Amino acid sequence: MATIFAPEWWCPNCGTSARLPFPKPRQTHMHVCPKLRFLSAPLLPRGMAAKVEIVERGDYVGGETVQLDPERGRPVQSIVTTRDKGQDTIIFAPVATATARIS
């Protein structure tokens, strides 16, 4: 019987690591990162050179419900992972709200 080893995943910002199975296509392992202000950030395969950073929203926030930075209270647009061969982005899309009245 062959032994299958799970790869090691880690966060380049806070150093969190875990042995987890490979995720399904178009999915990734996430964790709450204290260095990225306690937002959900991706775990990367150990040894991958990459940078994970927060991008604040640059436009006006009207009546939308948006993801806020827990420490600064500023709206967060996305978390970007930049590697040698490309870039991945996790988007925090605003949520629309509505109210209804029955007369």
Q: CA 40: distance to chain centroid?
A: 4
Taking only the tens place, the pLDDT of each residue in 61-74 is 888 888 888 888 89
DSSP type of residue 70: T
Taking only the tens place, the pLDDT of each residue in 30-81 is 999 999 999 999 999 998 999 999 999 988 888 888 888 888 889 999 999 9
Query: pTM score, two decimals?
Result: 0.78
pLDDT of 63 reads 80
Backbone φ and ψ of 34, nearest 5°? -70, -25
- Amino acid letter, residue 29: H
pLDDT of 2 reads 56
Beta-strand runs (E) in the chain: 8-10, 17-19, 30-33, 39-42, 44-45, 50-56, 76-83, 86-91
Q: Domain segments of the chain: what residues?
A: 8-91
Give 22's pLDDT tier (boundaries 50, 70, 90): confident
Answer yes or no: are the C-beta atoms of 40 and 57 closer than 8 Å: no
pLDDT of 3 reads 53
